[in-house]
Amino acid sequence: MTFDAAATWPDLFEGLTEQQKQSVDQALAALTSDGYEPDKDEVAGIVNGAKQSSIRSFGPSAASSADGAGASSW
């Protein structure tokens, strides 16, 4: 039987993108492959990690120096 955290705690998954849900599913699949069932706090931590990873991916791509090295031009 497969552990279904989204069905168990749907409130944790509200507002996640499909990519975030897939990331959480992959992490949970690895965690539960030997039959372990995480509690709600553990699942919430994984969900928050997926959210934070998405937020970081929208940050600045490269730092700029005073001479413009590393800066992007559009």
Q: What pLDDT score does 74 carry?
A: 41
Amino acid 3: pLDDT: 80
Q: What letters, b where the CB count within 10 A reaches 16 and e where it falls short, cover 9-48? A: eeebbeebeeebeebbbebbeebeeeeeebeeeebeebbe
pLDDT of res. 56: 62
- How far apart are the two ends of the chain, measured CA to CA in Å? 51
DSSP one-letter string for 53-71: HHHHTTS-SS---TT-TT-
In tens, the pLDDT along 17-73 reads: 999 999 999 999 999 988 899 999 999 999 999 998 876 665 555 554 555 554 444
Could you tell me the pTM of the whole model? 0.69
Structure tokens at 50: 């997926």
